[in-house]
A and B are shown apart, each in its own frame.
Chain A
């Protein structure tokens, strides 16, 4: 069975700083997808970034980038120039190719301080 582990329950950084959220996963699959979802206080789940396991290049979306280390089964999220609006719960998630089920980590609560 696949598992997703987020070892940082809560983090705080000053506005404009860079922050990295950790995520590790366990799977025997070779083809899968990894995601970072953001859940702000509104509770709306928002897809931040996705990574296909077969791609070596790290995904990037504006200020958000990932460090995907397939061999180490690590998938960290880097938020550059953090903004107050980045304050949210961040979930790392895994989905096996050909299977629609998303497995979520327990989340990291991120506070951006003014």
Chain B
């Protein structure tokens, strides 16, 4: 159990277009999901916390108008990169938090989406 999927796994787009990435928890419900960005050979950088039914919480320095997050259901969060530019090219990873019921939660990660903006 605790599988998280991301779609697409890889996307190439032209500069100025928008790209939507989906993150789904397949076998559990997640009121909280997270979006990370990972540069080559670097660590994961938290971009935002996605809360079901409410606005996302963005980390300092992350443009909320550029990286739109929608968490419309307990199993789906989407990240839309608006007006993408080459500097937005990166590996985007989501995670979904599963509540264990005894006060500790575990985050399970999706397989990531590689975005290339030409």
Contact = CB atoms under 8 A, between A and B. Distances in A.
A47 to B, nearest CB: 7
B49 A104 contact: no
A33 B107 CA distance: 12
Interface string B30-49: 00101000100111101001
B93 interface: yes
Given A100-B32, A100-B34, A100-B97, A47 B108 contact: yes
Nearest to B46: A101
A91 B109 contact: no
Interface string A23-49: 000000000010001000011111100
A39 to B, nearest CB: 9
A91 B44 contact: yes
Contacts of B93: 43, 45
A34 B42 CA distance: 20
Main secondary structure of the interface of B (DSSP, over half): strand
A100 B105 contact: yes
A47 B46 CA distance: 17
A100 B43 CA distance: 18
A85 to B, nearest CB: 17
A106 B97 CA distance: 22
Nearest to B42: A106
Interface in B53-101: 91, 93, 95, 97
Given A100-B49, A105-B43, A42 B106 contact: no
B29 to A, nearest CB: 15
A52 interface: yes
Given A100-B32, A100-B49, A45 B109 contact: yes
A102 interface: yes
Interface in A66-114: 91, 100-102, 104-107, 109
14 contacts: A42-B111, A43-B91, A43-B112, A44-B109, A44-B112, A45-B44, A47-B107, A100-B107, A101-B34, A101-B46, A101-B49, A102-B107, A107-B42, A109-B41
| The 6 A-B residue pairs with the shortest CB-CB distance in the complex, in nearest-first order | A45-B109, A104-B43, A43-B112, A44-B111, A106-B43, A104-B44
